[in-house]
Amino acid sequence: MLFSSMFFLGAFLPAVLAGHTLLQWLAQRDGAAHRVWQEAANAFLLAASLVFYAWGEPRHLLVLGASIGLNYAAGLAVASLRTGNRQHRAVAVAVVLNLGLLIYYKYMNFFMDAAGMGLAERIAQPLGVSFFTFRGISYVLDVSRGVTRASRSPLTFGCYMALFPQLVAGPIDRHPLLAPQLAARRLDCEGFAEGARRFILGLAKKALLADTLAKVADAAFNAPAQELSWTMAWVGLVCYTLQIFFDFSGYTDMAVGLARMLGLRIAENFNYPYIARSVREFWQRWHMSLSSWFRDYLYIPLGGNRRGSARTAFNLFMVFFLCGMWHGAGWAFIAWGAYHGLCISLERFFPVFFDRMPRLLQHGYLMLAIMLGWTLFRAPTLAAALDYYGALVGLSTPGEAVKEVLWHLHGVDVQAALLLGVLFSLPTASWIAQRLPAGLAASPVFALARTAALAVLFAVSMAPLAGKTFQPFIYAQF
């Protein structure tokens, strides 16, 4: 089930919000039986999350259940062993089992194809497997490090692993953030309204900006690169650069908003990544829950930057090589990860060159580096990416593909999405909000106007859903 489906918006979400609100109200009202009602609310949330997952992936519900059971048991085992070699072995077993599950379902087809032994029956990848596997690994490691306590409640732990707002495409929240909230949280009208606003803005990002820009990006990347002019190749790449940001950040806004309506605060995942001035800073602003995961559970344990230049370069390369593999089982994704590792290594070892650039030039370098990387990310194969690079530098003969890209580009909706996409990929909204008169921002008239604008935005965003032109979220495939 996707956040964008009519069933989710018209039936599932209202039913979940109504049921959870009732149980949470009873938990907040009945002090003597607070824990009982809170467990009931968590049980309801877990059941709803499993229904959400099973709606589109019924055969993989057992995989999710196995992951929950494995990590719940591993957490208790690691906590009971406390310290020493036995605990280390228990942690190692849990991590290996988690990675084994991920490797089997996500990479086995790729490995067998690379070895020339393609499987007759392809192994289907469970939805969100990369996300809930990493959530489980971080939990076991945090228990072993004493960062969090092992969860005694299977209901609370199940909610942590499978909470439907973040199940399919993150953020990859840590147990210390969610566990206290699942044990005790409060619903209030202000938080619910804040969540609804965030959800609507995320839906608009996806439906009105990302999917509109996808028309041009798809036309460019799906066409034979040899038939693209260099101008249309760059136009397609610019559109994809904006599309993937609004697609993924839109999903995150919807997830954060849904969680807020349930009385929970989950991690932010984006902080205007395209205003960065280096690839390193970009990763501090893009998919922040993933980049911090790799930092805390791989880069630092490998030694970080504490063991000399050569080891630091190796650690950076390994982190981004695996980051590329995490995103997808294919040579293009691996090359994308290695490319980012190379960029960050160069920035680190030649700081005099990069740091002395004028700020505008730094930003230009960042956008060029990221866009060239997105070519690897978007192209279906590594060979297709190389062909697209050829088109970007004019090594192609323009043909029919140019006409299709131009046809989409002439659309008023695409032109508006391009303009708004550039504006709102920057902190434009924050800049405007900071300059509103204090009295106006707090006035009832402003609140009413904002509510009316959000209602119109929601209605307009629903149109693609009704017309069945809404595309799946890009990161849902990972």
Altogether, the residues listed in the chain come to a count of 478
Nearest residue to 60 via CA among 162, 210, 202, 198: 162
Alpha carbon separation from 175 to 71, 141, 431 (Å, rounded): 12, 10, 34
Integer CA distances (angstroms), 74 to 27, 66, 104, 173, 417, in order: 30, 12, 20, 18, 48
Judge contact between 200 and 279, C-beta under 8 A.
Answer: no
Angle between helices 85-102 and 61-81 (to 10 degrees): 170
Q: How far is CA 350 from the centre of its chain?
A: 31
- Cα distance between residue 345 and residue 322, in whole Å: 15
Residues labelled catalytic: 327
CA–CA dist 68, 64 (Å, integer): 6
CA–CA separation, 407 vs 410, rounded Å? 5
Helices (H), 153-264: 154-162, 164-167, 175-183, 189-204, 211-222, 230-261
Closest among 156, 134, 161, 163 to 52, alpha carbons compared = 163
Q: For residue 77, give the nearest of 102, 64, 95 by alpha carbon.
A: 95
Let me know: does 208 contact 243? Beta carbons within 8 Å: no
Which two tokens mark 284? 């501090």
Please tell me whether residue 170 adopts helix, strand or coil conformation: coil
Distance CA 223, CA 5 (A): 29
Amino acid in position 5: S
